[in-house]
Amino acid sequence: MSPQPARRDRRGGPSGPPRGRGGPRRPPAQDPAREAALDTLGAVREKDAYANLVLPRLLRDRRIGTRDAALATELAYGASRTLGLLDAVLGECSERPLTEIDGVVLDGLRLGVYQLLRTRIPPHAAVSASVELVRSRAGTGAAGFANAVLRRATERDEDGWVEFLAPDSAEDPLGYLALRHPHPRWVAEAFAATLAEAGAEDELAELLAADDARPAVHLVARPGEISSAELAAITGGDEAPYSPYGVRLEAGAGDPADLEPVRERLAAVQDEGSQLAALALTRPQIEGSDLRWLDLCAGPGGKASLLGALVGLDGGTLDAVEPATHRADLIRSVVKDLPVRVHIADGRRSGLPSAAFDRVLVDAPCTGLGALRRRPEARWRRQPSDVAPLTTLQTELLGTALDLVRPGGVVAYVVCSPHLAETVEVATAAAARPGVTQLDARPFFPDVPGLGEGPGVQLWPHRHGTDAMFCALFRRD
């Protein structure tokens, strides 16, 4: 249960936002990094786009070099992740309500405040570059306004603003932590409830801090094609501590899509927690046939690829179900050359035969609160009202999976969320069905510490360095 040690970058320094001494002393005539970051924030704000999909495309299309790409990534993802704190600061520094500020100007201000609070770019350079960025997109008048707001923002550093803006930590510790490590309050409350259920409520600050940090990149080595040791040697990463197929790269190590093993389909990007949850399905002993597996919610295909490779080693097959045509095409592209059949269907009404599969994975649609590190804008987009319809869908999918697995077979229910309504409550309801036994999942996460009292397993960023994946295992009697 010990916290993950601080990781160090390739030069031996601590990981985290860039804190080099080399910030520009004056804004360059062309500022491709900040322009790409601004356009990413604009796409997220205007089109509900995903920052981690928009930015890589912009970097490729504009042929932005390595150094500028690193800065653009830090600014776009960092500003998206810390939006609540940035807007709180801007609300104090602006004489206008934020709702009355032009969108592109507001995005420019957010990038400026992020640089002031979380990078070592000199304040005068951060202000000047941000003002010029606003001027280039919104004109001289907007630049004057941005200059006035950002100069007020320079009056305090991050600690100073948090102490000024946050509720008293003694009177409202959760509210204080939610601003200290920017999270919506309802998300912090959900995390606190799950930790309290496990008797670990004192870990909330550690969890929120880990969730506020840039995550390491995790790769999965395709079974039968390359070992994790070989993959680590080729990529310069480290073998993952828990998954036999995992490799961890330092945060900010570059675009993993450019790595040769990834381009050659010998490896893929996949969080180690996702690998562990998929592997847990494969580990309980079952009697009889074990050659027909099913991934009932397979898009975008990461777990289907790992499971397809594993069952294929023994001559078996995997059926993968995905309702969206474009995501089904994506699955086909990642499982090419594997014994995987892709079906375009709703997992609740797939048309597949009942009691026909030896092992079934339900990687159910969820709030994704366990992957907020990798989806920087998601924490501010999700709402408490999202939870109830998702739990209904999860319950229906899990019930279908228990119908599709044969007697003696195993079902894994997996969500990337620690919200109790999506995890323990759904699993408990499934376990109450006649003819279903919930297994203690902990033995199927070998050598992973801090798994709690079971029977489900909840992984955590601050304990395991993974996304906050939940896994429950069931056997059909």
Binding site listing for S-adenosyl-L-methionine: 297-303, 322, 346, 363
Q: Which of 93, 366, 416, 471 is catalytic?
A: 416
CA contacts within 13 A on the Cβ side of 347: 27
Rounded CA gap, 190 and 286, in Å? 36
93 included as an active-site residue: no
Q: Which of 44, 77, 82, 75 has its CA nearest to residue 165?
A: 82
Indicate the annotated binding residues: 297-303, 322, 346, 363
DSSP letters, 258-319, are GSHHHHTTSEEE--HHHHHHHHHHH-S--SS---EEEETT-TT-HHHHHHHHHHHHTT-EEE
3-state secondary structure of 293: strand
Q: Which of 171, 5, 182 has its CA nearest to residue 88?
A: 182
3-state secondary structure of 472: strand
Residue 363's DSSP bridge partners are 414
Whether 81 contacts 110, CB under 8 Å: no
Beta-strand relationship, 267-269 and 217-221: antiparallel
How many C-beta atoms surround the C-beta of residue 348 within 10 A? 14
**Burial of 138 (C-beta count, 10 Å sphere; 0-12/13-18/19+):** middle
Helix (H) / strand (E) element for 37: namely helix 32-47
Whether 396 contacts 386, CB under 8 Å: no
- Which residues are part of the catalytic machinery? 416
